[in-house]
């Protein structure tokens, strides 16, 4: 028994030593030292083919001619056996009227979807996008807003929401501030478009992973607005950062994540020195309230 256990221990130890020795070599060769959902495979999609696939898929959806690709049991097995290589990551609103794979006529394994109300990129959403780019080789990120967005509407109307929802709406405030000079439906629609553009521009600034991928030409970050009435995605949003129609212009830029509320990091005032006050501050005389005095009865008269 002892010899058998010794043999197992030695063999296991040797395997670990060999693995540790091969890790630096794998890194130098560009081979992943661990398996992820991509199974270490190279994403075959390019920026151009990914964007075109999104456009073509949405065109089929709008024309009521979807092909419903990659929705078979064989596709499921292939993904389970060989891993995923999605052609794009989509940061979209959580709105139930915006089913991402459906509106782009895609199937299993085609899109890496991250959702939050208003398509707001919080820390979890940004981390998920970093995973898609760094580990799955996704060449395109689409920031997708949609018409009649309730979250953007709440930000534009300056709704006072408590808790985490209130913090989320604050991240939409740059777009809301930028449209203060507009009226009616145009005000909300412009804010929706601006939010997609602002978040598109924000992502490579707040994430070194995404910023480096864009700089190296491996990643393109685009934006669009989905029309919930027609099903069409408008990709023709401004290519550059928008200028606010009202001053100040910096209201539409978001170079860094919003800081935590000031009160959350403000230290409390020093505690008062009651001992010194007892020496210098005279005790006030009892004041009669409603006919009650210590002399008239009560705890102090006993």
Return d(Cα 292, Cα 299) in angstroms, integer.
Answer: 11
Tally of CB atoms within 10 A around 141: 28
Which residues have C-beta within 8 Å of that of residue 27, sequence separation ≥ 6? 33
Residue predicted with more confidence, 277 or 210: 210
Question: Checking DSSP bridges between strand 233-234 and strand 220-226, what pairing results, if any?
Answer: antiparallel
Residue predicted with more confidence, 299 or 103: 103
| Element housing 140 (H / E) | strand 140-146
Q: Where are the domains of the chain?
A: 45-260
CATH number of the domain at 45-260, please?
A: 3.40.1050.10
Return d(Cα 164, Cα 160) in angstroms, integer.
Answer: 12
Q: For the segment 86-110, what is each residue's pLDDT rounded down to a tens digit?
A: 999 999 999 999 999 999 999 999 9
Confidence of residue 38 (pLDDT cuts 50, 70, 90): confident
pLDDT of residue 255: 43
pLDDT of residue 119: 98
Q: For the segment 169-224, what is each residue's pLDDT rounded down to a tens digit?
A: 999 999 999 999 998 899 999 999 999 999 999 999 999 999 999 999 999 999 99
Whether the full predicted model's pTM is greater than 0.75, yes or no, is no
Confidence of residue 37 (pLDDT cuts 50, 70, 90): confident
Give the residues across from 224 on adjacent strands: 144
Alpha helices in the chain, H assignment, sequence order: 2-28, 47-62, 73-82, 100-103, 123-136, 150-156, 163-170, 173-178, 184-206, 208-215, 262-265, 274-280
Residue predicted with more confidence, 27 or 54: 54
pLDDT of residue 63: 98
């Amino acid at each position: 028994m002892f010899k058998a256990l010794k043999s197992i221990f030695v063999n296991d130890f040797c395997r670990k030593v060999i693995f540790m020795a091969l890790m630096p070599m794998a890194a130098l060769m560009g081979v992943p030292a661990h398996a992820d959902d991509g199974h270490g495979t190279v994403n075959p999609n390019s920026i151009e083919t990914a964007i075109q696939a999104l456009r073509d898929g949405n065109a089929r959806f709008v024309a009521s001619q979807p092909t419903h690709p990659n929705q078979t049991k064989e596709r499921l097995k292939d993904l389970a056996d060989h891993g995923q290589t999605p052609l794009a990551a989509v940061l979209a609103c959580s709105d139930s009227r915006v089913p991402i794979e459906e509106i782009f006529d895609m199937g299993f394994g085609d899109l890496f979807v991250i959702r939050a109300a208003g398509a707001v990129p919080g820390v979890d959403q940004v981390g998920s996008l970093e995973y898609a780019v760094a580990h799955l080789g996704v060449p395109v990120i689409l920031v997708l807003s949609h018409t009649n967005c309730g979250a953007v509407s709440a930000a534009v109307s300056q709704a006072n929401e408590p808790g985490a929802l209130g913090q989320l709406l604050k991240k939409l405030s740059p777009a809301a501030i930028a449209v203060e000079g507009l009226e009616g439906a145009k005000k909300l629609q412009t804010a929706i478009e601006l939010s997609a553009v602002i978040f598109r521009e924000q992502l490579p600034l707040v994430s070194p992973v995404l910023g480096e991928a864009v700089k190296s030409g491996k990643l393109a970050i685009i934006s669009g607005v989905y029309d919930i009435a027609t099903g069409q995605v408008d990709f023709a949003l401004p290519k550059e950062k928008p200028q606010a129609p009202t001053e100040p212009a910096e209201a539409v830029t978001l170079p860094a994540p919003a800081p935590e509320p000031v009160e959350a990091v403000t230290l409390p005032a020093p505690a008062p020195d009651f001992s010194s006050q007892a020496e210098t501050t005279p005790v006030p005389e009892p004041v009669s309230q409603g006919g009650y005095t210590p002399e008239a009865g009560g705890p102090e008269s006993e």
